Amino acid sequence: MHFDIIVLGSGPSGYVASIRAAQLGMKTAIIEKESLGGICLNWGCIPTKSLLKNAKILESIKKNGDLFGINNHQIKIDYPKIISKSRNVVDKIKKGISFLMKKNGIHVIHGTAELKKQKKIDVLKNEKNIGEYSATHIIIATGAIPKIEKKFQYNGEKIITYREALSLSSLPKRIIIIGSGSIGLEFAYFYHSMGTKVTIIEICPKLFPNGDDEISDYLKYSFEKMGIKSYTSSSIKKINHNNGIITMDVKTSIGNIILETDIVLYAIGIIPNIQLIGLKEIGVQIEKGFIVVDENYRTNIDGYYAIGDVISTPSLAHVASHEAINCIENIKGLNCHNIDYNNVPKCVYSFPEIASVGYTEKEAKKKGFQIKVGKFPFSALGRAISDENTNGFVKVIFDAKYDEWLGCHMIGNNVTDLISEVVVARKLEATSYEILGSIHPHPSLSESILEAIAHAYGKAIHL
């Protein structure tokens, strides 16, 4: 069977690409070896946010229940029900994606794709060929898988990745999390709120290694205040198993230590899921584990494209979806905006939440900008005080010469929602003068952005 477009993978890049292609009148098929929605929906973005919602409700009641007149002395955790709720959320959204496939007339093929030359694809299930397909355009959107090093003895039971962490049958008393990117930080907060003793080991000098230094420092302070222990500039030298207990020899900045735990969550990152799909056989160029593409997501082989986590752009669901739309619209010959990867919001949904876009202060200085920096703490904001959530701050960075908004970094309650204002303002090349002339509602958390900019220019009223 021949199609105009065949998409490999149904994550945020794959299913969005297939829908946009169908909207533009192209006969479209999507091949998925597991469940519609990919890792993001089934084992990543969505179920983790469901778990974190439970965590934040629980922490809020524990911390402020008496203050708000809520009796918090008989709190009980039904952990299996918490996990079940997260899976129910996933099922609801999967049904929604399935509906969109039918609505747009997209042919869904369940199986493993194997690329062949001349834009042909074999689909296998249980190692049997269940169909041969061809397309004018083939889009590789197979996402990513956890990065695992052999020395950590991954077994899916005592040493796990995010996938197993989302469906543990019972709460561990102790967990060590290796890596403090978004996956590690979110699970650290979740398990801590459930009563698990959490320790983080990070090889880089700071938590949240790619974040602004002040944000990372504040996060470490916040986690330690909660009771989440972290070791930065640290590496694991040896792991031992003994009667269900895992012992780790860890080299830290203060010397070698030995840690014990019940579970190890391996969260050092992800790698493109491009093994065994036939890329080498058809000659697609790969560098450093990523498929090489041009600005229109075309590979070196005519008719083959790649989007999302399989290419070397930020591994974020919202990036993947925009790449999908751009890829399809370029195939169709439409004019579309190229993605400005320096204006991509990056979010961590732990508590406190983290959100950022653009340059960090260190990056801006390295680029040679003369900068103005402003900060505003939530502890000085009326809405945050009334919500009893005053942790964190907003930090803005402007170019002193041209008043360009170079970056913004936030840590605190609901900052993952606030960051969108900054993304739009930077897209429209808004200056501090224009933002300061825009009225923000009072009381609101968004006032913190206005106040931080005012602080950068010596105009702060409430600081």
Q: What does the alpha-carbon distance between residue 461 and residue 74 come to, in Å, rounded to a whole number?
A: 43
Task: Tell me what pLDDT residue 223 has.
Answer: 96
Task: Tell me what pLDDT residue 72 has.
Answer: 66
Task: Tell me what pLDDT residue 8 has.
Answer: 98
Instruction: Calculate mean pLDDT across residues 85-97.
Output: 94
Asked whether residue 352 carries a pLDDT value surpassing 70, the answer given is yes
Task: Tell me what pLDDT residue 62 has.
Answer: 77
Sheet holding 197-201, edge to edge: 159-160, 263-266, 174-178, 197-201, 229-231
138 vs 166, more confident:
138
CATH for 2-146+271-341 is 3.50.50.60
Task: Tell me what pLDDT residue 447 has.
Answer: 97
CATH assignment of 150-268, among 3.30.300.130, 3.50.50.60, 3.30.565.10, 3.40.1080.10: 3.50.50.60
Instruction: Calculate mean pLDDT across residues 367-393.
Output: 95
pTM over 0.85? The answer is yes
Residue pLDDT, tens place only, 219-265? 999 999 999 999 999 999 888 888 878 999 999 988 999 999 999 99
Instruction: Calculate mean pLDDT across residues 97-106.
Output: 96
Instruction: Calculate mean pLDDT across residues 391-407.
Output: 97
**What are the residue ranges of CATH 3.50.50.60 in the chain?**
2-146+271-341, 150-268
Report residue 134 as tokens. Answer: 């061809």
Q: Are 233 and 204 in contact (CB under 8 A)?
A: yes
**What are the residue ranges of CATH 3.30.390.30 in the chain?**
352-456
Residue pLDDT, tens place only, 14-72? 999 999 999 999 999 999 999 999 888 888 889 999 999 999 888 888 777 677 677 76
The answer to whether residue 442 is catalytic is: yes
Report residue 230 as tokens. Answer: 């972290």
Q: What does the alpha-carbon distance between residue 332 and residue 334 come to, in Å, rounded to a whole number?
A: 6
Residue pLDDT, tens place only, 284-326? 999 999 999 999 999 999 999 999 999 999 999 999 999 999 9
Identify the architecture of domain 352-456 in CATH: 2-Layer Sandwich (3.30)
Residue pLDDT, tens place only, 164-219? 998 888 899 999 999 999 999 999 999 999 999 999 999 999 999 999 999 999 99
2, 241, 442, 462: the active-site residue: 442
* Spatial CA neighbour of 308 closest among 6, 82, 8: 8
